[in-house]
Amino acid sequence: VTSGEVLIDGVNVKEIDLEYLRKNISYVTQEAIIFSGTIDSNIRQGKVDATKEEIEKAAKLAVADEFIEKFEAGYKSPVNQGGANLSGGQKQRLALARALVRKPKILILDDSVSAVDAKSEALIKDNLRTLKDMTVIIIAQKITSIKDADYIIVLNNTGGLDGFGTHEELLETSEVYKEIYNSQLGGYHE
């Protein structure tokens, strides 16, 4: 933080034990990091002592179970270094399952479903809504990824704040949001 402060539940992050903080935050990037091994071992990277049930639940939340079950060896299926034998969307869902198996208090998704098809993305969003003890922060370029969020922060091209509010509020108050919305969805309101 170069100015101001970052608070979690009203407490400055500088006052929170770093190990505790790291244990309670999961971060998923757009470029999924996948390790050689198996589907199971990749998810287990998030929590080494995860049970079979926890791994399967995380995969289901990430809509990864859909493709895992199609593999002959299921969760024991081999994964090449970097996930070379998986599609972009499969890698992203596997990385999301790894983050979710930790049951973090804060989940940060940095454009992490950009390669996922629209149907799977909608299922993932629905699944994330069922998680009650988790704050989800989504960084995205697609309006469809964030329009149902409780709050949306819109940044302009220089990183300055252009708007804050709900989807509907931002359509009324943020020029940047309206421009993005119109370019992506042609101004169509659902």
CB 33 within 8 A of CB 84: no
Dist CA 167 CA 150 (whole Å) = 9
Model confidence over 126-180: pLDDT tens digits? 999 999 899 999 999 888 889 889 999 999 989 899 999 999 999 999 999 999 9
pTM of the model: 0.89
Cα radius of gyration (the chain): 18
The dihedral through the CA atoms of 187, 188, 189, 190 has a sign that is negative
CA distance 112 to 93: 8
